[in-house]
Amino acid sequence: GAVVSQHPSRVICKSGTSVKIECRSLDFQATTMFWYRQFPKKSLMLMATSNEGSKATYEQGVEKDKFLINHASLTLSTLTVTSAHPEDSSFYICSAREPDRDTQYFGPGTRLTVL
Amino acid sequence: AQSVAQPEDQVNVAEGNPLTVKCTYSVSGNPYLFWYVQYPNRGLQFLLKYITGDNLVKGSYGFEAEFNKSQTSFHLKKPSALVSDSALYFCAVTLTGGTASKLTFGTGTRLQVTL
């Protein structure tokens, strides 16, 4: 149990285009999901907290107009990187809070490469 | 503010020997503590957590961790290391109240188990 999926696993796009990443909790309902960014050989940086049915809460320094988050259902949150640039290339990881076990479970990550 | 320190960038252990990966934390309250493992190009897998109760917590794959309040530590241990344990290990903390609160991660410790 407590499986979180992400799609796609890797994506390559041209500079200026937008990319959508999906995060799904497969066997539980998650009112809260989180989006992280991980740089090579670095820890995870929390970008935003996604709450079902309400606006996401962004961390300081994260541009909400560039990283659009939608949490339309209890099992799906999406992160859209708008007008992507090479500096947005990174490993993006989502997590979902499983309420019964009060634990965050992580997706497998999405590697974004912007050319 | 809450913080986590993992003082070792890398730990090297021979297969069959015991391993310890160190973690210390700082929070202004009662902590929830977690260990996650990350394999290359993958998301984080939950290993174990401490919320309250017994200071020795047992988790997945034979790992355990000991909560020490006086030393504000939560070291990860395993009696006998396997080559397949080689991965990146993250310690994380949040305040009591659950993981709807933000997780703060350490910088990660790379465990290398050799034959």
Q: pLDDT, tens digit, for every residue of B17-29?
A: 999 999 999 988 8
Q: CB–CB of A97 and B46 under 8 A?
A: no
Interchain contact A114–B (C-beta under 8 A): no
Q: Over range A33-52, report the average pLDDT.
A: 88
Interchain contact A93–B (C-beta under 8 A): yes
pLDDT band at B99 (very low <50, low <70, confident <90, very high): low
Q: CB–CB of B108 and A4 under 8 A?
A: no
Q: Over range A51-72, report the average pLDDT.
A: 91
Cis amide bond preceding B40, omega within 30: no
pLDDT band at A79 (very low <50, low <70, confident <90, very high): very high
Lowest mean pLDDT among A33-47, A75-89, B58-72: A33-47
Within 10 A of B85 (CB to CB), how many other CB atoms are there?
19
Interchain contact A104–B (C-beta under 8 A): yes
For residue A31, give the 3-state DSSP assignment. Answer: coil
Phi, psi of A84 (to 5 degrees): -65, 145
Within 10 A of A69 (CB to CB), how many other CB atoms are there?
24
The pLDDT of residue B98 is above 60: no
**Listed residue (A73, A32, A68) closest to A50, CA to CA:** A32
Percent of chain A with pLDDT over 70: 99
- Residue A58 has a pLDDT of 94
pLDDT band at B100 (very low <50, low <70, confident <90, very high): low
pLDDT band at A2 (very low <50, low <70, confident <90, very high): confident
**Listed residue (B45, B56, B49, B47) closest to B96, CA to CA:** B49
Q: For testing the chain B interface, which of A24, A32, A47, A102 should be mutated: the one with the most B CBs within 10 Å?
A: A102
* Token pair for B15: 């297969």
Q: Over range A104-108, report the average pLDDT.
A: 92
Interchain contact A44–B (C-beta under 8 A): yes
Residues of A in contact with B98 (CB under 8 A): 97, 102
- Residue B96 has a pLDDT of 60
pLDDT digits (tens, 9 = 90+) for A23-37: 999 999 998 999 999
Pairing of strands A90-98, A110-114: antiparallel
Place of tokens 């503590």: B33
The answer to whether the Cα torsion of A29, A92, A35, B109 is positive or negative is positive
Q: CB–CB of A106 and B36 under 8 A?
A: yes
Q: Over range A55-68, report the average pLDDT.
A: 93
Which of B32, B44, B51 is the closest to A93 by Cβ?
B44
What is the DSSP-derived secondary structure letter of residue A74? T
Residues of A in contact with B49 (CB under 8 A): 103
Q: A35, A92 in Cβ contact below 8 A?
A: yes
pLDDT digits (tens, 9 = 90+) for B40-90: 878 889 999 998 889 999 999 999 999 999 999 999 999 999 999 999 999
Compute the nearest-CA separation of A63 from chain B (Å): 18
Q: CB–CB of A104 and B46 under 8 A?
A: yes
Which of A4, A43, A49 is the closest to B106 by Cβ?
A43
The C-alpha angle with vertex A108 and arms to A106 and A110, in degrees rounded to 5, equals 115
- Residue A52 has a pLDDT of 85
- Residue A103 has a pLDDT of 85
Interchain contact A3–B (C-beta under 8 A): no
CA distance B112 to B83: 8
Average pLDDT value for chain A: 92
- Residue A54 has a pLDDT of 85
Residues in CB range of B102: below 8 A, 6 or more apart = A34, A46, A49, B94
At A95, which helix (H) or strand (E)? strand A90-98
